[in-house]
Amino acid sequence: MSAKVTLRDLLNEKLDIFCWCHNCGHNKVIETIKVLNKLGPYYPIPEIGRNLRCRKCNKTDNISTRPNWPDHKGQLTRHMM
């Protein structure tokens, strides 16, 4: 079993948090330091979504969070629905 990436890890790597609402498709990047001050350094990135509300559709039930990886001007992954 692998360890989950935490807010501390993102801060160390100078990365922010990418948030995606699966209900409406709205997305936003949140600064790591702002979330770290509220949830603490060891809070896992994948679990941050349960603390968020989408500003577009106002729902809280289906938001994903991950590191906001740098733009490499190419496809990094393919998401299948």
3-state secondary structure the chain: CCCCCEHHHHHHHCCCEEEEECCCCCEEEECHHHHHHHHCCCCEHHHHHHHCCCCCCCCCCCEEEEECCCCCCCCCCCCCC
Give me the pLDDT at residue 31, please: 96
Give me the pLDDT at residue 52, please: 94
Give me the pLDDT at residue 3, please: 77
Give me the pLDDT at residue 53, please: 95
Whether domain 7-67 has CATH 2.20.28: the reply is: yes
User: 22-73: per-residue pLDDT in tens?
Assistant: 999 999 999 999 999 999 999 999 999 999 999 999 999 999 999 998 876 6
Domain boundaries, the chain: 7-67
Give me the pLDDT at residue 73, please: 62
Give me the pLDDT at residue 20, please: 96
**pLDDT tops 60 at residue 79:** no
Residue 27 bridge partners (DSSP): 20
Q: CA–CA separation, 26 vs 37, rounded Å? A: 24
What does the block give as tokens for 9? 């890890």
